[in-house]
Amino acid sequence: MGMIGTFDGFTTARLGIYAAQHGLRVTGNNISNINTTGYTRQRIEQESMKTGGADMYRSPYDNHVGNGALVTGINQIRDPYLDIQFRTTNSKVGYTDAWLSGLNDIAKTLDEVGKGMVTNRTEEGDGILYAQMLDMADMLRQLMNNPCKDNDTLVRNSAETLCQLFNSYGRNLEGLQKDLDAHFQTELASVNEILTNIRNLNETIRNAEIVGDRALELRDERNRQLDSLSEYMHIKVEYVMEDIGGGKQVEKLIVSLGNANPDPESHTDETVLVDGVYGSQIKCTNGVPLSNPDFDATKTPGADNPRFLKADGTATDDEKEAATLDYVLSVTNLVDSKNVLPKNHNTVNAGRPITLADNDLYGSFQAMRELLTEKGEFSTAADVAADPNAVSKRGIPYYQMSLDLLARKFAELYNSLNQGAMLDTDDNVIYTAVSGTPEDLGLKLMDKGFGEGYYVDEKGFFIGKSDPAHNPCLLTQAQIHKDDSLKTALNKISGVTTDPALKDQIKAVLDSNGEVLSDKTEEAEKIVADFLGLHGVTDSNGAQVEVNMPKYPEGTGPLFSNRNDGDNTEGITASNISVSHSWSTGAVQVVPKFKELFDGDVTDSTQNVNIDHMISAIDKSLVYNPKDLDPNSVSSKLFEGSFNDMFNNMGGILANDQRTTNVDLNNNYTMLVQIDTSRDGVSGVDLNDEAMNIMQFQKAYSAACRFMTAIDEVLERLINNTGIAGR
Amino acid sequence: MIRATTGGVLRSYRANLMKSFISQNNAMNTILTQRTFNSYAEDPASAAKAFRLRKSRMTVQSQYNICTDTQKKYETGISCLQSIDNVLSTKNGVPGEYMRTLKGTTLSMLNDPEGDAREQLAKVLDQMSEMLVQDMNQKYGDNFIFAGADGHNVPFEVKDNKLYYRGVPVDAAVPELFDSDGAGTQVKLNDNGEVDPTGKNILLAGATTISKADYDAAVNNQLNDPTAEVPNVLKDTAGAAVMYTDKDGNDYYILADSAETMTQEEIDEAEENVAKLEYLANEKLFVDIGLGFQENEDGKLIESSAFNAALNGIKFLGYGLDADGDPKNLYSLVQKMKEISESVPEAGKWDKGTWEEFDNLVGKFETACSNFTTEFVNMDASSTKLGTNAQLLEDNFYNLQEQYAELEDIEPVEAINNFLWAQYAYNAALKVGNSVLSQSLMDYLN
């Protein structure tokens, strides 16, 4: 039997008291932090202490007894899988929440449900802009019933209100865009602050760990920062062990993007954001030229290996011609707190910044980017090259452009109707159509005895005629306009003709630089004119057809313009549509009819045939073609219907997106709460738990004290009261 | 879940309490706004449908205003014409006042050596023509009612006792030209009345002819009897009688005294005036009174989808000349009768021919009156149609209101029930939170 130390028991009791006291302190700390965001419950780690080692002379009757409990550490209780789930779901909540918030902001302008005041003609809930379009139709009916100046003024007043509403809606959306841009920049700063915090925390934790401190509270803070970051973007968090020399290893945290891009070829969506003590920042740049995906970086850039894409999707090596993208994000170099680059580092952005692809992010950051940039059906080939799904994503620009297109079509149709260009000799209206034939792209010109087959462009200038000798499609493709230079016209013809003789003719009038030879101008003009079928074409009276045929009869003019101090109809949008200056001053009025009866011998002062057209136009089904607003748009049809239908459709698309997103948000949020609750189930503090711990450690403490008292009493007996028998 | 922690339970409770509160808030908003949905996103399908119904209602309201306004124009027009109709039209076999006067006077005029009756008749006819023009030039609001599509200008004007409708003489007719050979060869005369291919005066139909045989006989007769007259026939510039051959190969001459001519310009003008009258009589002025108002693919108004609100004055009064060359227009007929009644010296008697001509005009006047009455009845029928249409639009207006009210307006019982239930659920949630979360093992530690 081995020796038993006299005072061993005291040590054992003392260690028990220590352990229980530690336990009570940790319990107290847990209870104190029950409401601390991100706090992970802690618990002590205890081991039974045993002194001495193996003894070769050890007797089988020699029983070792342990020397009490040792507190070896304090740990956190976390489930890494739940953290991953939480952060993935949090990025979904972030995305849907930000997207829905943006849609709701748009709806504040465009959703007219329940809006509208009671007036003589409207009821509450009739809408505002929606009702105003009908109000103008009502005024037109009154004008039709009695074409006179007073009623024209009524129509004009109604049109002015309509324009003001368009302006107001357009400005609201512009304001929304600006506000969101400012918010985006603030959020960008927040994200960068989080990234810096994580990097700094990594450094502090690392230093603490080197000296043996687990730095649990700092880890909590780091987890909290990671949770916050996950709302902005989809991230991946890894913990690896880092060798710091001397056989010692410390834990290292790596945060990278979470592979959000559905394109398997994309790897920039795994860019490292923080790698231990090295961290990066995210930068946002506007006006970035769009890269050509087929560009081969290993070869010299040039015409054969162009670096960029144009808005129409074709490649170019000229940066000035390239389509530009806004809100392009990039991740900077990884650097430590002293701005030093890592050595021998294998992460992608260790040595250079990484430009992120359009879909590399997820979370609220991506939602804000999409709200700021996505144009839906108005997307250009360049936009689609950047994001194949661009056509189905509709952010603020989509609604702005839809409203612009509505305002433009409205203005164009009423301007045309008030200028007579689209009326044939029988007062039939020739509406603009929109698909690919000459009839569609040019307006048929049947007036003035030209008969079928002659076309003018949207500005009213003669395009050509569909001569069987020429392929009509060629004429359309050529789209030679009055304002084209001779050189441009020849180039257009050369680009579309398949006739080698004609190509030779064109070559013969051009010099080596493609300029028209000065002594060949007449010949060049003839080539263009011949191509358009102008030479030899006469009208029914045998008169030569003039190329620059005026579109508008005398005394008529546009009703709507892009500024109310002029009559310019170019580039009308929702924000600038105005009643034209001429209409507002009375120089132009709504034209009730164009045809003079018997060359003006008989007056028909209240004839209203043109107002008939204008009233019908309110319900006229028109094709809304995104190309009418941006020729580079890839879609050729946004919607087909009346003006009111178009506005209703915008509300419908917005509403359906809101509904879908709302359902997503609710689902994701519910899931997030569940995951967070589960996470809390592992890491959170529970009062019942802690009450049990208090009792447990309190009892243990008392027991250890009791044990010490027992040992004390035993030794007292041994030292002071042993061997005094008979005294 | 292995552990349910205080924090976790609280979070879950908080999230669910918020949901419950949102539900209660939504239910409250539904009651306060009285609407089943307050945004497009709440019910996109109903919202889109409600907007379309509201659009229809606003359109119907607008069309109703036009319809009732047009009806008022018609009613005003009807009351203007009512007095004319009363005195002109024959009702239940009894001729109107003027017709009775005319017929009675006509008979009495046969035996009217002093001309008193004719004098009276001329006055009556003058008043009548004046009344016709005045009534047809009435206005509704700022517009002349019977001006077709020229409401801003007075439609009927009298110049030199001739009636003009919107500047066009109502008696315009295309003259029939003399056809010399049945193949349309015209006869042209110069200003001296000589046959001249370069002449500007074209011979009108109705010229009297004489066969070659008769003419030759008259010439021979004169040879025998120098006092005998040879008919004055058209001669050429050399003074020779011009002989024509008709389609049957018979030769003839044209008697110069019967030759009436017109220049080509005058003929063209007459043709143009006739075309104008034709157009103006059938002129259309469409308004949208809720009949569908739609254009075809060529952008041309589908006429059946609109209401033609043009009231063309000459359609009521008549225009042009009949086969006898008499006017069809009421005013012109009256004027012509007046001229005839004035054409005989005061103390003279009417010869039978004049009387017959006058009587003939009375018959034509009766026909014109009948035409007027027909148009008047048509107008009355249109006015009734407008009234019926206005009623339909009104019904439609309320129907549409009901339809979107069904979509948008809440069912109060259901809405209040929903709110009470949401409130109950919320209160229950609060109660649960208060009683469950306040307790833990801590509360039982001594």
Which of A604, A684, A692 is the closest to B5 by Cβ? A684
pLDDT band at A536 (very low <50, low <70, confident <90, very high): very low
Q: Work out the average pLDDT over A106-117.
A: 93
Residue A223 three-state SS: helix
Last residue of a domain, one of A655, A677, A706: A655
Q: Within a domain: residue A316?
A: no
Q: Are residues A561 and A641 in the same domain?
A: yes
CA–CA dist A200, A214 (Å, integer):
16
pLDDT at B337: 86
pLDDT at A345 over 70: no
Work out the mean pLDDT of chain A and round it to a whole number: 83
Which of B11, B44, B301 is the closest to A676 by Cβ? B11
8 A C-beta contact, residue A177 and residue A372: yes
- Domain limits at A483? 130-170+401-655
Q: Which residue of B has its CA nearest to A100?
A: B41
Would you call B12 and A428 a contact, using CB atoms and an 8 Å cutoff?
A: no
Q: Take residue A328 and report the two structure tokens written for it.
A: 């392009």
Q: Which residues of B touch A662 (CB under 8 A)?
A: 41
Q: Take residue A212 and report the two structure tokens written for it.
A: 């043996």
Q: What would you report as the CA-atom Rg of chain B, rounded to the nearest whole angstrom?
A: 42
Q: Are residues A508 and A602 in the same domain?
A: yes
CA–CA dist B366, B96 (Å, integer):
10
CA–CA dist A407, A404 (Å, integer):
5
Which of B1, B38, B280 is the closest to A602 by Cβ? B280
Question: At B156, phi and psi to the nearest 5?
Answer: -105, 135
Q: Take residue A507 and report the two structure tokens written for it.
A: 């070559």
CA–CA dist A439, A441 (Å, integer):
6
Q: Which residues of B touch A606 (CB under 8 A)?
A: 143, 147, 149-152, 285
Which of A141, A613, A659 is the closest to B62 by Cβ? A141
Which helix (DSSP H) or strand (DSSP E) does residue A74 occupy? strand A69-76
Pick the most confident of A84-98, A610-624, A711-725: A84-98
Which of A107, A609, A669 is the closest to B41 by Cβ? A107
CA–CA dist B287, A138 (Å, integer):
12
Q: Within a domain: residue A431?
A: yes
CA B290 distance to own-chain centroid: 18
Q: Which residues of B touch A695 (CB under 8 A)?
A: 445
| Three-class secondary structure assignment of A9-63 | HHHHHHHHHHHHHHHHHHHHHHHHCCCCCCCCCEEEEEEECCCCCCCCCCCCCCC
Q: Within a domain: residue A370?
A: no
CA–CA dist A629, A635 (Å, integer):
11
Q: Are residues A441 and A493 in the same domain?
A: yes
pLDDT tens digit sequence for A615-642: 988 988 888 999 989 988 999 899 999 9
CATH numeric code, B90-174+264-397: 1.20.1330
Angle between helices A216-232 and A149-210 (to 10 degrees): 150
pLDDT at B271: 92
Q: Which residues of A touch B55 (CB under 8 A)?
A: 130, 134, 644
Would you call B35 and A125 a contact, using CB atoms and an 8 Å cutoff?
A: yes
pLDDT band at A429 (very low <50, low <70, confident <90, very high): very low
Residue A516 three-state SS: strand
Q: Could you identify the residue written with the tokens 């465009």?
A: A110
Would you call B11 and A688 a contact, using CB atoms and an 8 Å cutoff?
A: no
Q: Are residues A580 and A458 in the same domain?
A: yes
Q: Which residue of B has its CA nearest to A426?
A: B300
Residue type, A725: A
Residue type, B153: N
pLDDT at A469 over 50: no
pLDDT at B153: 93
Q: Within a domain: residue A106?
A: no
What is the nearest CA distance from B43 to chain A, expressed in angstroms? 8
What is the nearest CA distance from B273 to chain A, expressed in angstroms? 10
| Number of domain units in chain A | 2
pLDDT at B438: 65
pLDDT at A192 over 70: yes
Which of B15, B40, B295 is the closest to A107 by Cβ? B40
Work out the mean pLDDT of chain B and round it to a whole number: 88
Of A669-683, A690-704, B58-72, B96-110, the one with minimum mean pLDDT is B96-110
What is the nearest CA distance from B169 to chain A, expressed in angstroms? 12
Q: Are residues A20 and A161 in the same domain?
A: no
Would you call A606 and B47 a contact, using CB atoms and an 8 Å cutoff?
A: no
Query: In chain A, what percentage of residues exceed pLDDT 90?
Result: 46
What is the nearest CA distance from B27 to chain A, expressed in angstroms? 16
Give just the sign of the alpha carbon dihedral A484, A488, A490, A494: negative
pLDDT at A539 over 60: no
Q: Are strands A282-285 and A278-279 parallel, antiparallel or unpaired?
A: unpaired
The DSSP line for A104-135 is HHHHHHH--TT-----SS--TTS-SHHHHHHH
Residue type, B64: Y
Residue A633 three-state SS: strand
Helices (H), B195-310: 212-224, 264-281
Q: Which residue of B has its CA nearest to A598?
A: B276
Would you call B61 and A138 a contact, using CB atoms and an 8 Å cutoff?
A: yes
Which of B2, B6, B312, B319 best tests the A interface by mutation, with the highest count of A CBs <10 A? B6
Q: Within a domain: residue A445?
A: yes
Q: Which residues of B touch A654 (CB under 8 A)?
A: 40-41
Q: Which residues of A touch B408 (CB under 8 A)?
A: 125
Which of B18, B23, B58 best tests the A interface by mutation, with the highest count of A CBs <10 A? B58
pLDDT at A232 over 90: yes
pLDDT at A413: 86
Which of B5, B168, B299 is the closest to A431 by Cβ? B299
Tell me the whole-structure pTM to 2 decimals: 0.82
Question: At A146, phi and psi to the nearest 5?
Answer: -150, 85
Q: Could you identify the residue written with the tokens 């009512």?
A: B82
Q: Which residues of A touch B165 (CB under 8 A)?
A: none
Residue B17 three-state SS: helix
Q: Are strands B143-144 and A639-641 parallel, antiparallel or unpaired?
A: unpaired
Residue A443 three-state SS: strand
A residues 94-153 near B, CB within 8 Å?
107, 111-114, 121-123, 125-127, 130-131, 134-135, 137-138, 141-142, 144-146, 148
Would you call B5 and A648 a contact, using CB atoms and an 8 Å cutoff?
A: no
CB atoms within 10 A of CB A488: 13
Which of B8, B141, B293 is the closest to A146 by Cβ? B141
CA–CA dist A51, A65 (Å, integer):
9
pLDDT at A543: 47
Task: Name the residue with higher pLDDT: A603 or A132.
Answer: A132
Q: Are residues A405 and A545 in the same domain?
A: yes
CA–CA dist A86, A90 (Å, integer):
6
Distances (CA, A) of B44 to A210, A552, A640, A650: 61, 43, 19, 11
8 A C-beta contact, residue A487 and residue A514: yes
Residue B244 three-state SS: strand
CA–CA dist A558, A581 (Å, integer):
9
Last residue of a domain, one of A655, A673, A698: A655
Would you call B52 and A612 a contact, using CB atoms and an 8 Å cutoff?
A: no
Q: Which residue of A has its CA nearest to B446?
A: A695
pLDDT at B422: 96
pLDDT tens digit sequence for A242-256: 888 888 899 999 999
Q: Please enumerate in sequence order all residues whose Cβ is within 8 A of that of A173, keeping only pairs 6 or more positions apart, or say none.
A: A106, A109, A396, A399, A400, A403, A574
Last residue of a domain, one of A655, A678, A711: A655
A266: left (phi over 0), alpha (psi -120 to 50) or beta: beta
pLDDT at A452: 45
Would you call A662 and B41 a contact, using CB atoms and an 8 Å cutoff?
A: yes
Residue B385 three-state SS: helix
Q: Within a domain: residue A184?
A: no
Q: Are residues A560 and A703 in the same domain?
A: no
Which of A114, A613, A669 is the closest to B35 by Cβ? A114
Would you call B62 and A134 a contact, using CB atoms and an 8 Å cutoff?
A: yes
CA–CA dist B445, A694 (Å, integer):
10
pLDDT tens digit sequence for A38-78: 899 999 999 998 776 666 666 767 677 888 999 999 999 88
Q: Which residue of B has its CA nearest to A670?
A: B15
Q: Are residues A425 and A508 in the same domain?
A: yes
pLDDT at A437 over 60: no
Q: Are residues A534 and A452 in the same domain?
A: yes
Q: Are residues A623 and A694 in the same domain?
A: no
Q: Which residues of B touch A692 (CB under 8 A)?
A: 441
Which helix (DSSP H) or strand (DSSP E) does residue A238 occupy? strand A235-243
In chain B (446 residues long), the average pLDDT of successive 10-residue segments reads 77 89 93 91 94 95 95 93 78 67 68 70 83 91 92 93 93 90 89 89 90 90 86 89 90 88 91 94 93 81 92 94 90 88 66 80 88 92 96 96 94 94 94 74 76
Cβ pairs A/B, distance under 8 A: 242
Q: Which residue of A has its CA nearest to B67?
A: A145
8 A C-beta contact, residue B52 and residue A126: no
The domain limits of chain B are 90-174+264-397, 188-262
pLDDT at A477 over 50: no
Q: Are residues A651 and A697 in the same domain?
A: no
**Apex B10 CA angle, B4 and B14, nearest 5:** 135
Q: Could you identify the residue written with the tokens 């290996």?
A: A305
Question: At B35, phi and psi to the nearest 5?
Answer: -120, 145
8 A C-beta contact, residue B262 and residue B175: yes
Would you call A608 and B275 a contact, using CB atoms and an 8 Å cutoff?
A: no
A638, exposed or middle or buried, with CB in 10 Å at 0-12, 13-18, 19+?
Answer: buried
| DSSP bridge partners of B147 | B312
A512: left (phi over 0), alpha (psi -120 to 50) or beta: alpha
Q: Within a domain: residue A612?
A: yes
pLDDT tens digit sequence for A96-106: 999 999 999 99
What is the nearest CA distance from A603 to chain B, expressed in angstroms? 6
Q: Which residue of A has its CA nearest to B9?
A: A677
Q: Within a domain: residue A248?
A: no
B158: left (phi over 0), alpha (psi -120 to 50) or beta: beta
Q: How many residues in chain B?
A: 446
Closest to A652 (Cα-Cα) out of A112, A176, A129, A169: A112
Q: Are residues A639 and A552 in the same domain?
A: yes
- Sheet of A354-355, strand order: A282-285, A328-331, A354-355
8 A C-beta contact, residue A302 and residue A325: no
Q: Could you identify the residue written with the tokens 């009703």?
A: A559
Residue B18 three-state SS: helix
Would you call B301 and A612 a contact, using CB atoms and an 8 Å cutoff?
A: yes
CB atoms within 10 A of CB A576: 20
